[in-house]
Amino acid sequence: MTAVVFDVGHTLADETRNWEAAADACGVPRFTLMALAGAAAERGESPLQAFVWLGVRPPREAFLNDELYPDAVPCLRRLRDGGLLVGAVGNMAIDHEELVRPHVDFVASSERWGVEKPAAGFFERVVAEAGRPASEVAYVGDLAAVDVEPALAAGLVAIHIRRGPWGYLDEPPPAAIRIGSLDELPGALP
């Protein structure tokens, strides 16, 4: 393994405060917005579909308050100190890239690339950015259908983290490595 690439949302960044801020900015109950976002994701749709159902526009600034999970920076540091190339990508706005840029070798957003997960083109971009063969790149994410399965289909090593709501609800394919926290990641890499 020569590179590890992380999905930013729910893997490195705790997005709960963002959704709360978005609900407050739109004047809708927090629980309603989060429940609809979860329902959309369960249906295989973007969680942003919740705003369409509610008839409100998502406030971009509400999603700029990401905070990294406590285990994120120590894990990123351990991987980089171990000589691995470390990247962070996600279905996010360009503005979110700055949150993780100081801690990784490269960062990219679906907005910058013009393609979102789970599209094959997204994972092709991951491999291109890593500059390594797909088989030498591990991709870490919490959603089986959006992160893990397409990463495996692209030939990457897929790591499913049991974090965020879908990390607990989704069952990853047997070919995936499963971890409970980023503290476990360095020891779980092949």
What percent of the chain is helix, strand and coil (3-state, nearest 5)?
50, 15, 30
| Distance from C-alpha of 32 to C-alpha of 42, rounded to nearest angstrom | 15
Crossing angle for the helix pair 30-42 and 16-26, nearest 10 degrees? 120
Give the chain's domains with CATH numbers.
3-14+66-188 (3.40.50.1000), 16-64 (no CATH)
* pLDDT tens per residue across all 190 residues of the chain: 999 999 998 788 877 888 898 999 999 999 999 999 989 877 878 788 999 999 999 887 777 667 899 999 999 999 999 999 999 999 888 988 988 999 999 999 999 999 999 999 999 999 999 999 999 999 999 989 899 999 999 999 999 999 987 788 888 999 999 999 999 999 999 9
| Distance from C-alpha of 145 to C-alpha of 143, rounded to nearest angstrom | 6
- Please say whether the beta carbons of 107 and 87 come within 8 A: yes
| Distance from C-alpha of 151 to C-alpha of 170, rounded to nearest angstrom | 15
Question: Does a cis peptide bond (omega within 30 degrees of 0) precede residue 118?
Answer: yes
